[in-house]
Structure 1
């Protein structure tokens, strides 16, 4: 397989001394990780606003040189670019760029920084635990939560974003599987009590959110049979909108994403999913009610309930994804009013059930993404190599 992907300059020795000046600043918060490794040496950043802003090469196209001038191998994957998709609309998403950079090492510090009114880049370099009772952290506007290296881990700590805007969550691991504090839900099943059982809850009028290069997991659904014990990995409801979910690794969980929490939760939440890796998920990748959404270049492996479930009149563009061992890769079920899809060039490998190749609606995304759009045949290898933490 011959595909070409540029490599982000991450050479602590060079410390970005050859980094080009940005002419149109957009956030690439992951650059801060490598900058921190070079903290004792100056970084040339003239014309860059905030430590987290830098040039953002796109995936695909000609192979560039690294900061040290060494060509990048054609099969080398170090995806790191600014937000693509709906998070770039409505004024864009820059997180805490321009604000202070602070390090959160405890739950108390994270809680205080996250609720602060000032723009902040909050770095997390180790495990912050909510213990068996779990914890919920409310994130205010203009924040970047950024894991450092491979070790930033919110263990039993869920995030709630409610009526806030301009937030980036990047390079962090999440699980609620360590929480034993439960309640009995409306379905008469035990459910984690904190943060509604979600790793990330988005609600109210929250807008312009970007979740990138993170890892989300709970327990293998084949052995943990209660589908409600842990709820969503990233769920969005209400009037939340302009969201991008990119380059994440979602695995070992029942229900990944609920976009719209009921058949009465009408709204156009405008979510883009791209280059995510879904492994051993039961369903909801995502379930999507009302409005418009875009899923491109995702890799789905062993999703054995339903894949993308478009409901209640939603129109989803499903483009150049790679489905492998998936039951009902693209389907509409569980609502009286069917959802629709605009399908293009998807790959179905060892799949069963609904595998549509013709469209029932038409959606042209309002943003540019051609420079990061890969052929479906390339997606499996690209995404497995590039999704998750420590890949910036």
Structure 2
């Protein structure tokens, strides 16, 4: 299938239809006859820019105070939540008003990069954002409107706030479905191992009625692992494998999570895996609630690209996975989710605060399902970066890309994937269009979909991401 620039003009409607069915339904775009208006129109801006799912465009009035911008519909909609996004932090006073009856639904002193406003459901044909005061002419990038039906929980409550790198529980999709606790619990068993054979025994001999934490204190090699080619966490639940300090190295042998749920992998170094599945960490479904956190995983680039396989990968029926604070480097094929274009499960994966360095491609490669990639630091990306393929929808926000080629693409599938891009930074980036392979997101990166999220999370400002990730990603950063 050949792709051209014209595809970019048509993918938004298709992607929005997909996202609405999956979870998101931004009424500012999808509501009946949705439109926007305002009290003034500054040069070079448009009222419509507040509802186009593109954070790079905005509405800016001519003055600071007493301004108004609205979202309106041809017939009434029901709504109980608004997400406001400002470029900068100029607003010092605002209120949200139901224009139909003048009722004030909410008010506040600031908006910033993301403000979620929840209120009792109303039926309305027009919502007003009144800008009461601002330090300078504000730039409103988005005015999203939702009807949240998730039992009263906020649909997409993104808030700037403190980010804790050594958290006891995950953010992202692994926080759903009761959360991911691994081998912790009141009746949990803890075992410390220093060889691969001891690790195999700890998994095989475990009491399936009790959570298990295996602490690794030593170098695990194929030679001390009793003949296995990988470590199977298979047909079991509630397991953690956690490294002790800086002492846990898996040298030439990897871990496979297979038909298992509620699994945590933390604080391990894993490298040079070319036996077994040739993945450092792989997940094969059915599997739920997996947290891969604070690991260092790497191969070599001075070998053939097929000598090793993935650093972290997943396939088949998996869901509720978070990969966080990992240092992933020196890899040809880095992170694959969905083994083929027919592996069409609705996987939901979060990637946050990872450091991707000296990597060739698949950062990640994502087929089908929904991904959330936020606050990651990418540098030295050699071929392609995030590859949204075959119907996938990925929300990509507040990431830093440096010295990178084609950081966001949809390549090498018979059907394209989509992206919801917000607040990313691109430095020394090369975009190279290849219509025979697919489409690229840049150089004028714009969203082709809207993906709302069923969980809350704290989002670092983009200008803080690089320093935070460099200081906190990888092993021996926390006391586990």
TM-score (norm 1): 0.74
**Alignment partner, residue 231 of structure 2:** 137
Q: Secondary structure at the match of 1:379?
A: helix
Distance 1:88 1:80, change over 3 A: closer
Q: Is the 8 A contact 1:134 1:156 kept in 2?
A: no
| RMSD across aligned positions (CA) | 1.9
1:303 aligns with 2:381: yes
2 CA distance for matches of 1:236 and 1:78? 24
**Alignment partner, residue 285 of structure 2:** 204
1 CA distance for matches of 2:327 and 2:160? 21
**Alignment partner, residue 218 of structure 1:** 299
**Alignment partner, residue 160 of structure 1:** 256
Q: Is the 8 A contact 1:131 1:156 kept in 2?
A: no
1 CA distance for matches of 2:291 and 2:357? 21
| Cα shift readout 1:294-340 (whole Å, capped 9, x = no counterpart) | 00000001011100000011000001000001111111010111100
Q: Is the 8 A contact 2:390 2:416 kept in 1?
A: yes
**Alignment partner, residue 125 of structure 1:** 217
| Cα shift readout 1:84-106 (whole Å, capped 9, x = no counterpart) | 00001122110001211110111
Deviation at 1:227? 1.0
1:100 aligns with 2:189: yes
Task: Describe how 1:20-39 pairs up with structure 2 within 5 A.
Answer: none
1 CA distance for matches of 2:388 and 2:470? 25
| Cα shift readout 1:337-374 (whole Å, capped 9, x = no counterpart) | 1100000000001011143531111101111103xx10
Deviation at 1:80? 3.6
| Cα shift readout 1:238-264 (whole Å, capped 9, x = no counterpart) | 001110000000011101111000000
Pick from 364, 387, 390 the counterpart of residue 473 of structure 2: 387
Pick from 379, 400, 403 the counterpart of residue 322 of structure 1: 400
Pick from 328, 336, 360 the counterpart of residue 258 of structure 1: 336
Q: Is the 8 A contact 1:176 1:198 kept in 2?
A: no
2 CA distance for matches of 1:310 and 1:195? 27
1:334 aligns with 2:412: yes
**Alignment partner, residue 366 of structure 1:** 454
Q: Is the 8 A contact 1:342 1:360 kept in 2?
A: yes
Q: Is the 8 A contact 1:145 1:170 kept in 2?
A: yes
Distance 1:62 1:302, change over 3 A: closer
2 CA distance for matches of 1:271 and 1:136? 24
Q: Is the 8 A contact 1:134 1:176 kept in 2?
A: no
1:287 aligns with 2:360: no
Deviation at 1:62? 6.4
Deviation at 1:285? 0.6
Stretch moving more, 129-138 or 269-278: 129-138
1 CA distance for matches of 2:297 and 2:160? 26
Q: Secondary structure at the match of 1:336?
A: coil
Stretch moving more, 271-280 or 95-104: 95-104
Greater Cα radius of gyration, structure 1 or 2: 2
4+ residue stretches of structure 1 with deviation over 6 A? none
* Runs (5+) with no aligned partner, structure 2: 1-158, 432-439
Deviation at 1:78? 5.8
Q: Secondary structure at the match of 2:429?
A: coil
Q: Is the 8 A contact 1:310 1:338 kept in 2?
A: yes
2 CA distance for matches of 1:61 and 1:96? 29
Q: Is the 8 A contact 1:241 1:271 kept in 2?
A: yes
Deviation at 1:60? 7.1
Q: Is the 8 A contact 2:254 2:281 kept in 1?
A: yes
Task: Describe how 1:239-250 pairs up with structure 2 within 5 A.
Answer: 239-250=317-328
Deviation at 1:129? 1.2
Stretch moving more, 115-124 or 382-391: 115-124
2 CA distance for matches of 1:261 and 1:61? 36
Q: Secondary structure at the match of 1:196?
A: coil
**Alignment partner, residue 188 of structure 1:** none
**Alignment partner, residue 316 of structure 2:** 238
2 CA distance for matches of 1:314 and 1:85? 17
TM-score (norm 2): 0.60
* Runs (5+) with no aligned partner, structure 1: 1-58, 64-76, 178-191
**Alignment partner, residue 84 of structure 1:** 171
